[in-house]
Amino acid sequence: MEEYDIGVCFIQESWLRKCDGTIISEINELGYRILSYRKKRKIDLGGGVAVLFKKNICIEKVARDAKYTAFEHIEVVLHSSHGLIRFVNIYYPGYSRKHKFTVQQFTLQLGEYLDELNDKPGTCILLGDFNIHVELACNQNVETPNSKLACDFLNTLDLYNMTQIIDFPTHCNGGTLDLLISSTPNLITKVECLDGVLSSDHYPICFNVCGNIKCTDEKKQFSFRPWNRINLESFKYELQMCLENTEYTTNMHVNSLVDIYYSILNDLAEKHCPVINKEVRPRLKQKWFNHELRRLKAEKRRAARIWQKFKTPSSKVVFKNAIRNFNNVRDDTRRSYYKDDFAENKKDSKYIHRKIKQLTSDNLEPCLPVHDDKSELCNEFASFFSDKVTKIRTSISEESTTPITVTNSQGTSCSFTNFEMLALDELSKLVSEMNSKGCQLDPIPTWLVKSV
Domain ranges of the chain: 8-209, 220-280, 291-360
Which carries the bigger pLDDT value, residue 374 or residue 284?
374
Strand ranges in 103-228 using DSSP code E only, listed in sequence order: 123-129, 163-164, 178-182, 188-193, 205-209, 220-224
Say whether 1 sits in a helix, a strand or coil. coil
pLDDT digits (tens, 9 = 90+) for 128-176: 999 999 988 866 666 788 888 999 999 999 999 999 999 999 998 888 9
Highest mean pLDDT among 204-208, 309-313, 405-409: 204-208
Highest mean pLDDT among 272-281, 357-366, 381-390: 381-390
Least confident segment among 195-209, 277-291, 358-372: 358-372
Alpha carbon distances (Å) from 196 to 64, 99, 193, 271: 33, 29, 9, 59
The class (CATH top level) of 8-209 is: alpha beta
What is the average pLDDT across 288-310?
86
In terms of DSSP H, where are the helices of 87-142? 103-118
Alpha carbon distances (Å) from 182 to 4, 114, 128, 267, 302: 23, 11, 12, 62, 35
Radius of gyration of the chain (CA): 34
State the Cα–Cα distance between residues 138 and 112, nearest whole angstrom: 25
The answer to whether 167 and 108 are in contact (CB under 8 A) is no
What does the mean pLDDT of the chain come to? 85
What's the pLDDT score for residue 365? 54
What's the pLDDT score for residue 433? 86
pLDDT digits (tens, 9 = 90+) for 51-66: 999 888 889 899 888 8
What is the average pLDDT across 214-223?
74
What's the pLDDT score for residue 69? 92
State the Cα–Cα distance between residues 442 and 258, nearest whole angstrom: 11
pLDDT for 11 beyond 90: yes
What's the pLDDT score for residue 366? 58
What's the pLDDT score for residue 282? 63
pLDDT interval class at 217 (50, 70, 90): low
What's the pLDDT score for residue 199? 73
What is the average pLDDT across 313-342?
89
Going by their DSSP bridges, the two strands 205-209 and 276-280 should be labelled as: unpaired
SS3 content of the chain, % helix, strand, coil (to 5): 40, 15, 40
What's the pLDDT score for residue 87? 95
pLDDT digits (tens, 9 = 90+) for 174-196: 889 999 999 899 999 999 988 76
pLDDT digits (tens, 9 = 90+) for 395-430: 876 555 566 666 665 666 778 888 888 888 888 888
What's the pLDDT score for residue 24? 83
pLDDT interval class at 324 (50, 70, 90): confident
What's the pLDDT score for residue 196? 67
